[in-house]
Amino acid sequence: MGIGKKVFMSAMVACSMLAMAGCGSNNEAGGNAAAGESIKIATDASYAPMEYMDTDTIKGFDVDFLKAVMEEAGVKYTITNTGWDTMLTSVQQGTEYQAGVSSVSITDERKETYDYSIPYFESTNMIMVKEGSDIKSALDLKDKVVAVQGATTADTLMSDIMGVDNTNLKRFDSNAVALMELNAGGADAVVADIAIVNEYIKNNPKEKLTGILDKENFGSEYYGILYPKGSEWKAKLDPAIKAVIENGKYAEIYQAWFGEEPDTAALLNAE
């Protein structure tokens, strides 16, 4: 190998290391970590306020919750922003990342491919319309044009109501684009997680938007930590999740992000 090639190779290695360091990976050491046990967790940090990037740091409710769980379990961990698709494949394989934490709703169809932790968050989908809209409930959406983020439970729910092959159900790449579609008049409503809708309405008071809660048609759904099939981490971390919810740490984090008390009883009974 010539000297030029060596220099080139080391430059390449240096560059890729820099690139990896820039990927937004938060390293957190667990409190009283047992020797060597550690878990690598993937997330799609584009879902404020649940998980999002603040320049190069991952923040959000899920991130704080995860920290509490890992401290409770005494496990070292890293959380990395891999994006949605990479998270799904790498967690399914379980070699690079052993878990995914990214507001992933627990559904039966998905359980065919993944294991889930016990539920750690109760959510529901919410309808967002412009003020003065005649839409009052989820069933009013049947003949309307509805925008959702594809590959979410909002998508699944609306597919059930409108039909999976109905092109009036517009699936966008992200909630942000779905919301733009509503503002541009291309959709009558957006359906998304309640936290997302509330955050958006709060941040955009000029758009004159209203959120509609329809507990009857959009039941509660629960987020879980995503594991590969047969993962041993489920048994290790489930007790820690339960403890964090029971000992009040969970309520503290919840209060800090959403300004209200969580219904922890419902959460613990949800399984």
Partner 1 sequence: MDFRFDLIVHYLPVFLRGTLFTIGVSVVSILIGSILGLGIGFGKMAPKAIYRWPFHFYINFFRGTPLYVQILIVHFGLIPAFYGTTNVLMTSFVALSLNSAAYSAEIFRAGIQSIDPGQREAALSLGMTKWQAMRFIILPQAIKRMVPAFGNEFIVLVKDSSLLALVAAPEIMFWSNTMKGQYLRIWEPYLTAALIYFVLTYSLSKLLNYIERKV
Residues in contact with partner 1 by CB under 8 A are 85, 88-89, 92-93, 104, 109-110, 112-114, 147, 150-152, 155-156, 159, 164-165, 167, 170-173, 177, 180-181, 184-186
d(CA 114, CA 120): 16
Nearest CB to partner 1, comparing residues 26 and 175: 175
Nearest CB to partner 1, comparing residues 17 and 164: 164
Find the shortest distance in angstroms from Cβ 94 to partner 1.
11
Nearest CB to partner 1, comparing residues 26 and 90: 90
Nearest CB to partner 1, comparing residues 73 and 148: 148
Instruction: For residue 191, give the H/E element and its range.
Output: strand 189-193
Find the shortest distance in angstroms from Cβ 271 to partner 1.
20
Phi, psi angle pair for 217, to nearest 5°: -90, -30
Find the shortest distance in angstroms from Cβ 117 to partner 1.
15
Nearest CB to partner 1, comparing residues 44 and 72: 44
**What residue spans of the chain are helical by DSSP H?**
3-21, 61-73, 84-93, 108-111, 153-162, 175-183, 194-203, 233-246, 249-258, 264-269
Find the shortest distance in angstroms from Cβ 130 to partner 1.
12
d(CA 215, CA 227): 29
Go through 171-184 and write b for each residue having 16 or more CB atoms within 10 A of its CB, e for each that does not.
bbeebeebbebbee
Find the shortest distance in angstroms from Cβ 242 to partner 1.
24
